[in-house]
C-alpha cells in the first residue's frame, strides 16, 4: 500500500472487518423489528455467542465499514478520528445504560459490544493522531 499511514491502515482493516461483520450479523439476526418488539432489539441472539446484533446494528457496521474503505485514499485521518470518537461515545453510552439494553432503543448492546467499541474507538483516535496531516495542494498560479 503506497503512502500507508496508521489512519489509512485503520480504514482498510477496520472497514473491511466491519463490512464482513455486518454481513455475518445478518445470518444471526437480520430483524429490524416485528411482533411485540418493534425495533428488533432481541439481545438473546448473539454473533458467535458473544456480540448482540440486529438488522440496525448490522447496517451500522456495513455503512461505517464501507465508508472507511471508500475514504481510505483521501480522508483516512478524518475517518479514523471521527469513527474513533463515535465508537468511544457509543461504548460509554453502552456502559451507562448497561448490558442487554439498546442504544436509541434500536441498536442492541452488551458488555462485549461495549468493550469492542471502546477498543475500536481508541485505535481509531490513536491511528488518526499518529498520521500526518495531508499536504495541501499548491495554489494555482495566476
Q: What's residue 48's pLDDT?
A: 80
Q: What's residue 33's pLDDT?
A: 62
In this prediction, residues 108-137 reach a mean pLDDT of 88
Q: What share of the chain is helix, strand, coil (3-state, %, to 5)?
A: 60, 5, 35
Q: What's residue 71's pLDDT?
A: 96
- Cβ atoms 28, 52 nearer than 8 A: no
15-62 per-position pLDDT tens digit: 999 999 999 999 988 888 643 454 444 556 788 878 888 888 899 999
Instruction: Give the integer Cα–Cα distance in Å for 55 and 22.
Output: 9
Domain ranges for the chain: 6-130
62-102 per-position pLDDT tens digit: 999 999 999 998 999 999 999 999 999 999 999 999 877 88
Does the predicted model carry a pTM greater than 0.85?
A: no
Instruction: Give the integer Cα–Cα distance in Å for 117 and 79.
Output: 15
Residues in the chain: 142
Beta strands in the chain (DSSP E): 46-47, 51-52, 102-103, 107-108
Assign 46 to helix, strand or coil: strand
Cell digits of residue 54:
440486529
Amino acid at each position: 500500500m503506497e503512502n500507508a499511514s496508521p489512519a489509512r491502515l485503520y480504514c482498510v482493516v477496520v472497514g473491511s472487518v466491519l463490512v464482513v461483520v455486518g454481513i455475518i450479523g445478518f445470518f444471526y439476526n437480520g430483524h429490524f423489528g416485528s411482533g411485540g418488539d418493534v425495533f428488533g432489539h432481541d439481545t438473546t441472539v448473539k454473533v458467535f455467542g458473544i456480540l448482540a446484533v440486529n438488522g440496525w446494528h448490522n447496517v451500522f457496521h456495513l455503512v461505517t465499514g464501507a465508508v472507511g474503505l471508500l475514504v481510505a485514499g483521501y480522508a483516512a485521518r478524518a475517518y479514523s478520528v471521527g469513527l474513533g470518537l463515535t465508537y468511544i461515545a457509543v461504548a460509554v453510552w453502552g456502559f451507562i445504560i448497561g448490558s442487554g439494553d439498546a442504544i436509541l432503543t434500536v441498536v442492541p448492546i452488551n458488555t462485549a459490544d461495549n468493550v469492542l467499541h471502546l477498543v475500536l474507538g481508541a485505535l481509531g483516535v490513536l491511528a488518526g493522531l499518529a498520521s500526518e496531516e495531508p499536504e495541501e495542494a499548491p495554489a494555482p498560479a495566476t
